[in-house]
């Protein structure tokens, strides 16, 4: 069971250090659940330092496919490894929506990160319009084609209509999508899409849900710890 907090564009390096020290104290001796935080690039070093002697992992929110080069504003897998980062998210729906990310570039980012020894959370999911048109499985199949099974690859199923909207897929709807994904690619699958302490236990109890990629609820220590504890049971 993996609970990963995607902080998006929140928390300065100073705030990151403070939060991670609180998290370290709150989750001391936690069993049965793997925990990761994904701060913005500017906070990665502070997170690595604060969580150095813990089992809590630090991951980035994105990575480039080239090892180096003229790619202003990007960051390479080798740079993340050198910082002490363990993994990275790729293909989040916000990257696809606002920054022109495609299935192909998501696949290239994932492959580069995995080759460098990072683990990867690759995000997939359908929009509300696609779901209403009955295209969910076609969309998920298309997005998965760009990814290859790997021991360090995790998929995050994030229905786009449930990200930051307060809407959440029912446990049954989420389970159905997770089972479909696992039939195509034999890797763990996290659920992401307005996961909160109130719905975490029910979602995480589904047989094919292997954890959660948590957005807004990962920014407050009490709510994130509650979700981590729900994953441990």
What residues are labeled active site? Answer: 92, 158
Between the CA of residue 9 and those of 61, 110, 125, 216, what are the distances in Å?
10, 21, 21, 11
Between the CA of residue 62 and those of 23, 155, 179, what are the distances in Å?
23, 14, 26
Residues 6+ apart with CB under 8 A from 17: 43, 46, 47, 49, 50
Residues 23 and 57: beta-carbon distance below 8 Å: no
Q: What residues form DSSP beta bridges with 191?
A: 157, 212
Measured between alpha carbons, how far is 211 from 2 in angstroms, rounded to an integer?
Answer: 5
Q: What is the DSSP string of 80-109?
A: HHHHT--EEEE--HHHHHHS---HHHHHHH
Measured between alpha carbons, how far is 58 from 157 in angstroms, rounded to an integer?
Answer: 20
**How big is the chain, counted in residues?**
233
Measured between alpha carbons, how far is 33 from 211 in angstroms, rounded to an integer?
Answer: 9
């Amino acid at each position: 069971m993996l609970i990963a907090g995607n902080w998006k564009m929140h928390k300065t390096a100073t705030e990151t250090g403070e939060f991670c020290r609180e998290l370290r104290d709150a989750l001391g001796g936690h069993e049965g659940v793997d925990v990761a935080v994904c701060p913005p690039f500017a906070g990665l070093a502070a997170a690595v330092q604060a969580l150095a002697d813990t089992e809590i992992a630090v991951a980035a929110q994105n990575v480039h496919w080239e090892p180096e080069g003229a790619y202003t504003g990007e960051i390479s897998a080798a740079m993340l490894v050198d910082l002490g980062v363990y993994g990275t998210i790729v293909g989040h729906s916000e990257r696809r929506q606002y920054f022109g990310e495609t299935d192909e570039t998501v696949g290239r980012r994932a492959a580069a990160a995995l080759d460098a020894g990072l683990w990867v959370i690759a995000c997939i999911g359908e929009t509300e319009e696609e779901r209403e048109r009955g295209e969910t499985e076609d969309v998920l199949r298309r997005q998965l084609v760009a990814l290859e099974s790997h021991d360090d690859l995790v998929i995050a199923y994030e229905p786009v209509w449930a990200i930051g909207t307060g809407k959440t897929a029912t446990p049954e709807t989420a389970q159905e999508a997770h089972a479909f994904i696992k039939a195509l690619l034999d890797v763990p699958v996290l659920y992401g899409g307005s996961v909160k302490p109130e719905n975490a236990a029910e979602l995480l109890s589904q047989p094919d849900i292997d954890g959660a990629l948590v957005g807004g609820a990962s920014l407050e220590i009490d709510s994130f710890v509650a979700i981590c504890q729900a994953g441990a049971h």
